[in-house]
């Protein structure tokens, strides 16, 4: 089985600061990888670099997505190729309805696949079906993108978009932050329903809590821009119990 994503010796950061310092990671189709780590370890930078945000510069290393050079692609090409980032802070776009936004995005992706624009009735059906996945109210779909949404609604909206656009590599950047326990359950259920043998997830989180619902195949600990420890879901429990200090200590001593 070929890899979905292969990151080798990645170095990246902003001009005045190195943040990712030699990160390697391999994700196979259907796998769920959790990336945990203390504040400032480079978790969000990793998701931004994978999505192609211009603020970050890659200074060394390679990233292959389904065998193709991901770093050579523009952000929109990555999205059309099936890379989806669920934002930690979803952005508001006043006056643009959620539905219109999603339809535009979906049609771009379809065009990339050589398909024509989606039929209006078919699209409506799709929206209805996917909305129920994250228990999103019908009215939310017609409101402006994320405008006036509560924190929980914004995160559910991200998963809803993910469900509609059907990406193959989903990156969840602290999707659990700011969620109460009910919203967390809804979001996690949505993600679980989207798990399949061809779809991989990178779940970036601070807390083990989310991983009770989205059970990962592998857990990685990111520290100082590198993956310093990998293990099963038990590693997450261990981190929860002991904190990150022992990792830091172990890493510094090593």
51 lines the binding site for other proteins (CB under 8 A): yes
- Token pair, residue 86, equals 């669920």
136 lines the binding site for other proteins (CB under 8 A): no
Residue 180 beta carbon to other proteins: minimum distance, rounded to whole angstroms: 24
94 lines the binding site for other proteins (CB under 8 A): yes
Residue 236 beta carbon to other proteins: minimum distance, rounded to whole angstroms: 27
In the complex with other proteins, the residue whose CB is nearer, 50 or 222, is: 50
Residue 77 beta carbon to other proteins: minimum distance, rounded to whole angstroms: 9
71 lines the binding site for other proteins (CB under 8 A): no
76 lines the binding site for other proteins (CB under 8 A): yes
163 lines the binding site for other proteins (CB under 8 A): no
Using CB under 8 A, count the residues that bind other proteins. Answer: 32
87 lines the binding site for other proteins (CB under 8 A): yes
117 lines the binding site for other proteins (CB under 8 A): no
Report which secondary-structure segment, H or E, holds 135. Answer: none
DSSP code for 72: G
75 lines the binding site for other proteins (CB under 8 A): yes
80 lines the binding site for other proteins (CB under 8 A): yes
How many CB atoms sit inside 10 A of residue 232's CB? 12
79 lines the binding site for other proteins (CB under 8 A): yes
104 lines the binding site for other proteins (CB under 8 A): yes
Contacts of 155 (CB under 8 A, 6+ apart): 86, 90, 175, 178, 179, 183, 187
CA–CA separation, 3 and 200 (whole Å)? 10
Residue 144 beta carbon to other proteins: minimum distance, rounded to whole angstroms: 7
Stretch in the footprint of other proteins (CB under 8 A) among 4-12, 46-54, 191-199, 202-210: 46-54
CA–CA separation, 202 and 172 (whole Å)? 6
65 lines the binding site for other proteins (CB under 8 A): no
Helix %, strand %, coil % of the chain (to 5):
40, 30, 30
Query: How does DSSP assign 5-52, residue by residue?
Result: EEEEEEEEEETTEEEEEEEEEEE-TT-EEEEE--TTSSHHHHHHHHHT
Among residues 90, 190, 216, 225, the one that binds other proteins under rule CB under 8 A:
90
3-state secondary structure of 234: helix
- On whether the CB atoms of residues 233 and 211 are closer than 8 A, the answer is yes
67 lines the binding site for other proteins (CB under 8 A): no
165 lines the binding site for other proteins (CB under 8 A): yes
53 lines the binding site for other proteins (CB under 8 A): yes
CA–CA separation, 150 and 209 (whole Å)? 21
CA–CA separation, 162 and 90 (whole Å)? 13
Contacting residues toward other proteins, per CB under 8 A: 51-54, 74-76, 78-80, 84-85, 87, 90-96, 100-102, 104-106, 108-109, 112, 144, 161, 165
């Amino acid at each position: 089985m070929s890899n979905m994503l292969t990151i080798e010796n990645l170095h990246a950061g902003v001009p005045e600061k190195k943040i990712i310092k030699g990160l390697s990671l391999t994700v196979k189709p259907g796998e769920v990888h959790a990336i945990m780590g203390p504040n400032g370890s480079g978790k969000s930078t990793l998701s931004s670099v994978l999505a192609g945000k211009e603020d970050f510069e890659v200074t060394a290393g390679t990233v292959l997505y389904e065998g193709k050079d991901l770093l050579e692609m523009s952000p929109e090409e990555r999205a059309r190729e099936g890379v989806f980032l669920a934002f930690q802070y979803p952005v508001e776009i006043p006056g643009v309805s959620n539905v219109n936004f999603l339809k535009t995005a979906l049609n771009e992706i379809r065009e990339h696949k050589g398909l024509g624009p989606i039929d209006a009735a078919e699209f409506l059906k799709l929206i209805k079906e996917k909305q129920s996945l994250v228990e999103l109210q019908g009215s939310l779909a017609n409101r402006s993108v994320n405008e006036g949404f509560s924190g929980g609604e914004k995160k559910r909206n991200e998963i809803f978009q993910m469900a509609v656009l059907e990406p193959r590599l989903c990156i969840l950047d602290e999707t659990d932050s700011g969620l109460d326990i009910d919203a967390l359950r809804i979001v996690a259920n949505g993600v679980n329903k989207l798990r399949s043998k061809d779809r991989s997830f990178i779940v970036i989180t601070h807390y083990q809590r989310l991983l009770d619902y989205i059970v990962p195949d592998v857990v990685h600990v990111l520290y100082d821009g590198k993956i310093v420890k990998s293990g099963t879901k038990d590693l997450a429990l261990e981190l929860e119990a002991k904190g990150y200090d022992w990792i830091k200590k172990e890493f510094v001593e090593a």
